[in-house]
């Protein structure tokens, strides 16, 4: 198997109307530690392809993602940084209570407005 760069950034790839991955390319998603896909025109994201054991950082700030319950992040227990600002996320922060390594959470300009008392003690930075 080829060595995979565990850091991929798709930040500001706004000039592409369509960005295609082949099925083989998508297999790398389960090996990634950091995903940066901020400020694009992404309308959907397949969170089920993310590996809870390897993923440490996810940044999908300021996209056009469809309405999504933040429960999709509940199994990402090794997540240290989650940035979902400016998208249509909703739900309770209770979904993140088992993300005990989470240090930074940016949920500004989302519809998430409850469950702050459930956030893990590891949290250092919160932007609401």
* More confident position, 14 or 91: 91
For domain 7-127, the question of CATH label 3.40.30.10 is answered with: no
Spatial separation of the C-alpha atoms in residues 50 and 79, rounded to whole Å: 11
Report the run of H or E that residue 25 belongs to, with start and end.
helix 23-26
Q: What residue spans define the domains of the chain?
A: 7-127
How many residues are present in the chain?
128
Least confident range from 24-28, 42-46, 49-53, 104-108: namely 24-28
- Residue bearing the bigger pLDDT, 98 or 13: 98
pLDDT score for 49: 85
Tell me if 61 sits within 8 A of 41, measured CB to CB.
Answer: no
Going by pLDDT thresholds of 50, 70 and 90, the confidence category of residue 84 is very high
pLDDT range class, residue 30, cuts 50, 70, 90: confident
> 10: pLDDT confidence band, cut at 50, 70 and 90?
low
What is this structure's pTM? 0.82
Share the mean pLDDT of the chain.
86
């Amino acid at each position: 198997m080829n060595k995979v760069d565990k850091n991929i950034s798709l930040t500001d790839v706004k000039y592409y109307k369509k960005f295609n991955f082949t099925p083989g390319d998508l297999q790398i998603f389960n090996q990634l530690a950091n995903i940066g896909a901020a400020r694009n025109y992404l309308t959907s994201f397949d969170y089920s392809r993310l590996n809870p054991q390897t993923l440490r950082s996810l940044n999908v700030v300021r996209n056009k993602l469809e309405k999504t319950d933040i429960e999709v992040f509940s199994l990402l227990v090794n997540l240290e940084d989650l940035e979902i600002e400016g998208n249509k996320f909703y739900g309770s922060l209770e979904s993140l209570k088992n993300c005990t390594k989470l240090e930074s959470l940016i949920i500004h300009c989302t519809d998430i407005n409850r469950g702050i008392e459930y956030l893990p003690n590891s949290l250092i930075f919160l932007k609401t």
